Amino acid sequence: MSTKISQLDDISKKDIIKKALNHKLKYRTKIGLSKKIKFGIEIEALGNSFMDVLQKHKDVFYYKDNPMRKPRNIYSNNKWILYHESTLFDDSGRGVYPSFSKLRKNYINNIVDWETVMLPFYEGGEITSPILIDDVYCWEDIKNMLKYMKDNIINLRVNDSCSCHTHFDIGIFDNDPLTLYSFIILLAECETVLSRFYSGEFINLRSAVNEWAKPIKSLIRCGIDLDMDISSYKSLIRSIYLGDPIMKEYSFDFWEIYNNYYVNLSSTFENRLPNGTLEETIIQNNVMLMGYLMEYVSKGKYDVEKGKYNLKKMNKIEDPFYVADMLPKDDFKFDFLTQYYKDGKYTKSKELVRSKRIFY
């Protein structure tokens, strides 16, 4: 597929889709990403005595009891970090964090305040990886961690409240705000396609994205015609988020660049779109796509003016072949298209619907 597949005729495209629907992902020992691309993953999941089981293994986990105070040296060692996660809910809708707050109406004073609700169970949580790179040891670490969880936690699963966020170091952009800006435009332009892909083994995104991974497209579109201060990463991010001073909880989150949150890395952004998953092959494919999109932009291959035009004109990019053309090898194009199309089905359901075809 040396020719851009987005420019092929309809018959050729249908043939590629048919192959993608019969293709299966494989777990690789290495993807081939630049050594400049470092990343970290967050795995949220539910399971019987989730926290109790994992806390026992202090040689593997650094346990953090307060999920609101993540240590600034979060990636300073090779241990995975274990958290309570206050946003997780079990299948009946109950929170799994032992004490969480909910709104309560005080009818006497006619005000709304917060009530702390104590829950006597620890049926879910989050684990966060150390700094990872694209090598055999890191991919083996992820695989072994997931196997350990599956072997030791009864009824381990993901549901509508679980995600698998990924943080990426942007050192590959060489401190060039224009390159970072181009990358943000790409993500906004292709957000519809990326949303389908990052639903993973499901054919739709979890409903929790409406609160915790809001679409970034409208925010970026509003800022295109503004005078952007591109003298630095920080000034660029501040310009982009003028319409939202909180600067958080978007599908692609860049507030950590502004706040220098992780002191061990040059700067990071967070991909908050991915659904929860316990499949290492899905996690690797998620990293593959984002890593190669970063490389594509860093090499100056992305037409940012075209991306800005499409955003301004509200041209909805729904062609996965457009994104596939940004990947370097046929194998990766098929891996991307396979996870995008899954079983070829779509749904308007507000509940998660798992793909009927196991493609991983």
How many domains does one find in the chain?
1
pLDDT score at 61: 80
pLDDT confidence tier of residue 98, bands split at 50, 70 and 90: low
Residues 6+ apart with CB under 8 A from 165: 41, 42, 270, 271, 272, 274
User: Does 68 fall in a domain?
Assistant: yes
- Asked whether residue 261 carries a pLDDT value surpassing 70, the answer given is no
Task: Establish if 64 belongs to a structural domain.
Answer: yes
What mean pLDDT is predicted for residues 268-280?
96
For residue range 294-341, what is the model confidence (pLDDT) as tens digits? Answer: 999 999 999 999 999 999 888 889 999 999 999 999 999 999 999 999
Mean pLDDT of all residues in 131-148: 95
In a domain, 348, yes or no: no
In a domain, 60, yes or no: yes
**For 168, phi and psi rounded to 5 degrees?**
-125, 135
Q: What's 152's DSSP letter? A: H
- The amino acid that residue 25 corresponds to is L
For tokens 């990947």, the residue is 327
Tell me if the pTM is above 0.95: no
Query: Is residue 37 situated within a structural domain?
Result: yes
* 125 located within any domain: yes
Contacts of residue 210, defined as CB under 8 A and 6 or more positions apart, other chains included, come to none
The answer to the question of residue 355 being in a domain is no
The tokens for 101 are 């707050």
pLDDT single digits (tens) 120-137: 445 888 999 988 999 999
The range of the structural domain enclosing residue 139 comes to: 5-341
Name the token pair of 37: 């691309």
Spatial neighbors of 245 by CB under 8 A, at least 6 apart, are none
- Length of the chain as a residue count: 360
